[in-house]
Structures are given as structure tokens and as C-alpha cells.
Structure 1
Amino acid sequence: MKGLEDLTRLKIEIDGHVAVVTLAAPPVNAHDRALREELVRTFDVLGAEVDIRAIVLTGEGKAFSAGADLSERPAIADEPGGYSRHNRLVRATFDVVLECPKPVIAAVNGAAIGAACVLALVCDIMVVAEEAFLSMTEVDFGMAGGVRHVLRSFSPSDARLMIYTARRISGPELHRMNVASLCVPRDRLMNEALGIAREIAGKVPLAVTAAKRSFGLTEEMPLRDGYRYEQTQTAALANTEDTKEALAAFREKRKPVFKGR
């Protein structure tokens, strides 16, 4: 795909209107500067691509990702302004997924530790393999990041348990705790994630984008203000070609053909 020809840490596959982004940095898909920069560029490009309607994010091999590459930290500390630049890039890695106009499904195939745990949590929908786990190990290394993102998905008590102890939360437990939508055997993981992505891709693209925008903007709004905003989105969609096509296809009992406008 144009703009993504020279990736070295990620692999991109296009399946109809679905893009599959695979973290591919052996042996454990650790987050170094290059991987973070490629994630930001990739989601910017895919988010702007009209033909892409949903994205699946997964890891190559046995791990989703072991998280931050700690071997980079001495160089960051020695570089003037290094931590400011590093922290800005780390935030961008998560923000670009949160703000991507296309829904992102995390297919967590194995360990997702630290920064990788947060990366999975900022996706719209999470599907986990039975042997996968999330873990926030910051307290083991004298760090304390990720609290706010963890609180979005876990109950207050479970979030504190996870952060304070650095415990591994297994796939079945993530499903029981309503953090993951599905927990399946590893060999079914991608089929399940792709099935969800294809189902989303069959809906009115502009409506899905508006729904994701609503999730992002109304999360901390009062109920009345949030619902009022959502109604403005429905009104704005009313005169779009795709909404008219969806209604016409319903009346005519045929499959709609969407153009993303």
C-alpha cells in the first residue's frame, strides 16, 4: 500500500475492506522507536484509506508483544530532551489507534505486556487466545505508566490488583472480567477477529466512523450531553449517499453497495 512500502517491524495484509496489521519484530515484537514510528504511520495511512473499513491488529509468533524494549532506555536518558520525545511517541502510539476512524480489533495471540497491554486495551474490540495474557509489569522495573488506560477496561479493584502486583491476567479471566469480547483456542483466533472485522465492514462506513467518534468523544460526557451529540451525528448522516443507499437497499431487499460518502 502506498506510504507503507518500507515497513520493517510490521506486516500489512489487505483482505477486501479489512486490513490486518501484524507486529513482526522477532523474537517478541518489542516496542522500540522504529516499531512505534511505524505504528503511527500505518494507522494514519489506513485511517485515511476509504476502502479500508476495519483493522485487525495481532502479533507474529507466540507473543502479541513483550512491550517496551528496555534496552533503549539508557540511550533515551542520555539524549537531551530524550524522555520528552520518547513519551510523546509512546502516547502517539496509543492515540493513533484510539483516534483511527476505522474500528480496530485486537487479536491477542499471546503475551501482551506493559506497553503492548495498553496497545491491546486501546483497540475497539479485543479477542484473546486461551493461552494469551495481559500484564502490566511497570512496578517490577521502577515505572508507573498505564494506569488511566487500564482503568478504562478493568474495574477499579481489578485495575489496582493488576498494576500493583504485575500479575498476568489470562485469556479466560479477561473474558470473565468483560475485558475481552471472546476467548478462543489460538487456532481460531484470527478467524474470529476477521469475522468481526468483515461484519463491521459490511455496515454503512460513515455510520461506523461516526459511532467510533461518538465513543471517543462521549466517554466522559454527562448522559444528556453525550446522547445529544450522537443525535447530531445521525442528523449529519441523513443526507449522505451511503445512508440513502442503505435505506434503498432495505426497501428493495438487496445487498447495499457503499462508497464511503
Structure 2
Amino acid sequence: MRGLDDLQRFQVEVADHVATVTIAAPPVNAQDRLFREECVRIFDVLGAETDIRAIVLAADGRAFSAGADLSERAGILAEPGGYARHNRLVRAAFDCIIECPKPVIAAVNGAAIGAGCVLALLCDILIVAEEAFLSMTEVDYGLAGGVRHVLRSFSPSDARLMIYTAKRVTGPELYRMNVASACVPKAQLVEEAKAIARTIAEKVPLAVMAAKRSFGLTEEMPLRDGYRYEQSQTALLAETEDTQEALAAFREKRKPVFKGF
């Protein structure tokens, strides 16, 4: 794809309006500066690409992502203003997924530790392999990141247990705790995530984007304000060709054909 043909930490494939972004940074898919820069570029490009309607974030190897590349820390500390620049890039690499207008499905195949755990939790939908696990190990290394992201997906008690103890939460536990939407054998993981993405891709594209926008904007709004905003989105969508096509197809009992963005 144009703009993504020189990636070193990721691979991107597109089929049926679904982009599959695969982390490919052996041996454990650790997140260094280049990883984060490419992540921002990928989701900016895919977010703007009109042919893409949903995204799967998967990983090669035994780990989804073992977290931040701690070997970079010494160099970051040695640079004047280095930590501020580093933190800004870390936020950007996470924000680009939250702010991507297309839904992102995480297919977590193995260990998702620290920044890798946050990367998975940032996605709209989480699918995990039976042998996968999430863990926040910051307390083991004198760090303290990820609290707010973990608190979005876990109960207050479970979030604190994870952060304070670096406990591993396995795939079956994540499913039981309603953190993950499905827990499947590893061999079925990516196809399960792609199947969800293909289903999303069949829906009215502008409506899906409006729904993701609503999730992001109304998360911390009072109920009445949030619902009022959602109603405004529905009113705007009612004037679009794809919404009118969806309603016509329903009346005529046929499959709709959407023009997209």
C-alpha cells in the first residue's frame, strides 16, 4: 500500500475492505522508537484510506508484544529533553489507535506485557488465544505507566491487582472477566478476528465511523449528554446516500451496496 511499503517493524495486508496489521519485530515484538513511529504512520494511513473499513492488529512469533524496549532507556535519559520527546511519541503510538476512525480488532496470540498490554487494550475489540496473557510489569522495573488504560477494561480491584503485583491474566481469565470478547485456540485466532472485521466491513461505513466516534467522545460524558450527541450523529447520517441505501435494501429485502466514504 502506498505510504506503507518500507515498514521494518510491521507488515500490512488488505483484502475485502479489511487491513491486517501484523507486528513483526522479532524476537518478542518489543516497542522501540521505530516501532512507535511506524505504528503512528500505519494507523494514520489506514484511517484515511477509503477502501479500508476495519483493521486487525495481530503479531508474528510467540509474543503479541513484550512491551517497551528498555535497552533504549539509557540513551533517552542522556538526551537533553529526551524523556519528554519519548513520552510524546509513546502517547502518539497509543493515541493513533484510539483516534483511528476505523474499528481495530486486537488478535492477541501470546504475551502482551506492559506497553504491549496497553496496545491490546486500546483496540476496540479484543480476541485472545487460549495461551495468551496480559501483564503490567512496570513495578518490576521502577516504572508506573498504563494505569488509566488498564482501568478502562478491568474492575478497580482487578486493575490494582494487575498494576501492584504484575499478575499475569490468561486468555480464559480475560474472557471470563469480560475483558476479551472471545478466547479461541491460537490456530483460529487471526481468522476469528478477520471474520469480525469482515462483518463490520459489511455495515454502513459512515455509521460505523460515527459509532466509534461516539464511543471515544461519550465515554466520560454524563448519560444524557452522551445520548444527545449520539442522536445528533444519527440525524446527520440520515441524509447520507449509504443510510438511504441501507433502508431501501431493508424494504426491498436485498443486500445493500454502499458507496463508502
The answer, yes or no, to whether TM exceeds 0.5 is: yes
State the distance in 2 between where 1:27 and 1:167 align: 23
Distance apart, 1:252 and its partner CA: 1.6
State the superposition RMSD in angstroms.
Answer: 0.6
- Corresponding residue number in structure 2 for 1:139: 139
- 1:185-215 Cα deviation digits (max 9, x unpaired): 1011011101100000000000000000000
> Where does 1:49-128 land on structure 2 (aligned, <5 Å)?
49-128=49-128
Q: Distance in 1 between matches of 2:4 and 2:191?
A: 25
CA distance in 2, matches of 1:243, 1:182: 30
Deviation at 1:228, TM superposition (A): 0.2
Q: Which residue of 2 aligns with 1:224?
A: 224
> Where do 1:23-42 residues align within 5 Å?
23-42=23-42
Distance in structure 1 (CA, Å) of the matches to 2:6 and 2:122? 25
**Matches of 1:15 and 1:136, distance apart in 2:** 34
Q: Please say if 1:173 is aligned against 2:149.
A: no
SS across alignment from 1:88: helix
Q: Name the CA distance, whole Å, in 2 between partners of 1:258 and 1:63.
A: 38
Taking the aligned partners of 2:70 and 2:137, their CA distance within structure 1 comes to 12
Aligned residue in 2 for 1:20 = 20
- Distance, in Å, in 2 between the alignment partners of 1:257 and 1:72 is 49
Deviations 1:85-124 (A, max 9, x none): 0000000111100010000000000000000100000000
SS of 1:14's equivalent in the other structure is: strand
Partner of 2:257: 257
* Alignment correspondent of 1:9: 9
Deviation track 1:146-173 (CA, whole Å, cap 9, x = no partner) reads 0000000000000000000001100000
Question: Which stretches of structure 1, 4 residues or more, deviate above 2 A after TM superposition?
Answer: none
1:227-261 deviations in Å (ceiling 9; x for gaps):
00000000000111110111111112111111124
**1:8 & 1:142 partners in 2: Cα distance?**
30
Structure-2 separation of matches of 1:44 and 1:257:
26
| Percent identical residues | 79
1:82 Cα deviation from its structure 2 partner = 0.5
Gaps of 5+ in 2: none
SS of the residue 2:88 aligns to: helix
